[in-house]
Amino acid sequence: MSQTYPVQKNEYIDVIFEDLTHDGAGVAKVDGYPVFVPGGLPGEKANIKVIKATKGYGIGRLVELLERSHFRVEVSQEEAHKYGGCQLQHIGYEGQLMYKENQVRQVLARIGKLDDVKVHPVLGMEHPWQYRNKAQVPVGEKDGKLVAGFFKPRSHEIVDSNESLIQLPDVNEAIQTVKQICIELGIKPYNEETHKGDLRHIMARYGKQTGELMVVLITRTSDLPQKNKLVEAIVDRLPKVKSIVHNINSRRTNVIMGDKTKVLWGREVIYDYIGSVKFAISALSFYQVNPDQTKVLYDKALEYAGLNGGETVIDAYCGIGTISLFLAQKAKKVYGVEIVPEAIEDARRNAELNEIANAEFAVGKAEDVIPKWYSEGITADVLMVDPPRKGCDEALLKTIIEMKPKKVVYVSCNPATLARDLRILEDGGYKTLEVQPVDMFPQTTHCEAVAKIVIA
Ligand code: SAH
């Protein structure tokens, strides 16, 4: 049965873009019916081809730009392979910051019903390129050759790429070099479809302040062919390497890392500094990818916490204790909780490394450990949360509402779940005072924000 919508599949039409979606596509309205077109920018007029029409929306492909936005920057075809994951590559930086500020404001209003919360302009970077301290590139095979780079958007095809414009040069060099060594040694790339082959991903992480490099080879089985030659060549050609780790991921999954790691050479960790605090980081631990902006983000979180030295603080989702140790310098006591055991090992090591004695860490789910603490009489004056993209577990929010810390500081990498969780806290007696977006991920649609929340 054929349906009639305001646009028809395969039709060519002229549209004007009014907005951008959360994944950076242009939004045009045809008789009120939204059509999403990757590459379109607000204010632009374009000819598009409709490639899909459903009940609620259509999807189009940009055919010809008829009027351009002054925010548009050109990207040549030859350069395109350097822009893996850069969904906003066609928007000048000023436009990207405006887009992220609007996105936070819109989502807080739409999902959080928080229309009048103060949202500050995004804190951006002076040079919004070459910032990532980590890359994990998928490895595959094309025409009998090992390739590595990034997945083509919405596909499982790997674009072979040796450089990314948002990665630190040392990270690019590490990936390129390890890839070249693997090609020379005839290492077999993993095949997603047949679940055969060896090397699945190459990961590199770089401590920008210390110049220390970690290389992680992720394979399907515990067998790493040519192990000794591989290690020898990496050490020889990448003098900054301090740690080479083998991670085994034998599952059929999109998740990059498996649970098992073995140190092949050097240390289990690399070190880095954020401000004056030194951190040990192991392969499985989360560590912010934009070191310059991390300082900006943590300083804002610290400012919102407003500590004067007498407070007890709980840092939920604490990772390797980065925010906890920042806070510990200004608080009486900090409790950190985190689900990855290796990260808590790092956190404890980091407290010792910095001679911080008033921070204590526990392994577990925040939504299990914090209620347990609460039942044992441990409460907080300030509660910090920094959850993954899916936001806070409802059980945790419920405990916060019962525990009633005077202040909650919410660091979020997903404005939609931030808005959802702020609504729950507001309904539980809290008030959101202000939200500060920080651009941790220039050129991409990812958006980070810190919110300051107090008892109403
Ligand atoms: N605050 C840290 C880490 C933030 S990333 C930093 O800035 O570096 C979010 C962290 O939450 C990750 O380390 C992840 O392992 C952890 N995590 C995910 N789900 C969790 C849960 N249910 N309980 C506790 N920690 C969790």
Span 174-210, pLDDT tens digits = 999 999 999 999 999 999 899 999 999 999 999 999 9
Which percentage of the chain shows pLDDT scores above 70?
A: 99
**Is 182 one of the catalytic residues?**
no
CA 386 / ligand 1 centre spacing (Å): 7
Q: What CATH architecture applies to the domain 134-274?
A: Beta Barrel (2.40)
Six-digit token pair at 59?
Answer: 């999807």
Measure the CA–CA gap between 326 and 124, rounded to whole angstroms. Answer: 22
* Apex 50 CA angle, 46 and 54, nearest 5: 130
Nearest CA among 149, 145, 152 for reference residue 136: 149
Six-digit token pair at 32?
Answer: 């009120």
Nearest CA among 30, 31, 51 for reference residue 39: 51
- Per residue in 374-423, pLDDT (tens digit) is 999 999 999 999 999 999 999 999 999 999 999 999 999 999 999 999 99
pLDDT at 2: 57
- Which CATH topology does 12-67 take? OB fold (Dihydrolipoamide Acetyltransferase, E2P) (2.40.50)
Measure the CA–CA gap between 330 and 63, rounded to whole angstroms. Answer: 56
CA 247 / ligand 1 centre spacing (Å): 20
pLDDT at 74: 86
Measure the CA–CA gap between 278 and 329, rounded to whole angstroms. Answer: 13
- Over residues 114-126, the mean pLDDT reads 97
Six-digit token pair at 427?
Answer: 């309904």
pLDDT > 80? residue 251: yes
Measure the CA–CA gap between 53 and 65, rounded to whole angstroms. Answer: 21
> Is 343 in contact with 286 (CB distance < 8 Å)?
yes
Six-digit token pair at 315?
Answer: 């840092």
The ligand 1 atom nearest the CA atom of 413: 5
Q: In the chain, list all ranges with CATH 3.40.50.150.
A: 101-125+290-455
Nearest CA among 26, 27, 35 for reference residue 6: 35
Q: What is the mean pLDDT of the chain?
A: 95
CA 381 to chain CA mean position, Å: 28
CA 342 / ligand 1 centre spacing (Å): 12
Which of 317, 322, 417, 418 has most ligand 1 atoms within 8 Å of its beta carbon, as the pocket-test mutant?
317
Residue type (1 letter), 368: D
Measure the CA–CA gap between 136 and 247, rounded to whole angstroms. Answer: 12
pLDDT at 324: 98
pLDDT at 83: 78
Minimal-distance CA residue to ligand 1 atom 19: 339
Q: Ligand 1: which residues within 6 Å by Cβ?
A: 286-288, 317-319, 322-323, 337-340, 343, 365-367, 386-388, 393
Q: What is the CATH number of domain 101-125+290-455?
A: 3.40.50.150
- How many CB atoms lie under 10 A from the CB of residue 418? 30
| Strand arrangement, sheet containing 158-160 | 158-160, 145-151, 134-142, 199-207, 212-219, 241-248, 260-266
- Per residue in 16-70, pLDDT (tens digit) is 999 999 889 999 999 999 999 999 999 999 999 999 999 999 999 999 999 999 9
Beta strands in 253-326 (DSSP E): 260-266, 269-274, 277-282, 312-316
Which of 256, 285, 339, 361 has most ligand 1 atoms within 8 Å of its beta carbon, as the pocket-test mutant?
339
Which of 286, 334, 409 has most ligand 1 atoms within 8 Å of its beta carbon, as the pocket-test mutant?
286
- Is position 386 annotated in a ligand binding site? yes
Upper half-sphere CA count for residue 290 (Cβ side, 13 Å): 25
Residue type (1 letter), 60: G
Helix or strand (DSSP H, E) at 323: helix 322-328
The ligand 1 atom nearest the CA atom of 366: 23
pLDDT at 77: 74
> Is 31 in contact with 8 (CB distance < 8 Å)?
no
CA 348 to chain CA mean position, Å: 24
Nearest CA among 420, 453, 423 for reference residue 435: 453
Q: In the chain, list all ranges with CATH 2.40.50.140.
A: 12-67
Minimal-distance CA residue to ligand 1 atom 23: 365
Which percentage of the chain shows pLDDT scores above 90?
A: 92
| Of the listed ranges 1-5, 60-64, 270-274, 353-357, the one predicted with least confidence | 1-5
- Is position 317 annotated in a ligand binding site? yes
CA 364 / ligand 1 centre spacing (Å): 10
Q: In the chain, list all ranges with CATH 2.40.50.1070.
A: 134-274
- Per residue in 288-332, pLDDT (tens digit) is 999 999 999 999 999 999 999 999 999 999 999 999 999 999 999
CA 416 / ligand 1 centre spacing (Å): 18
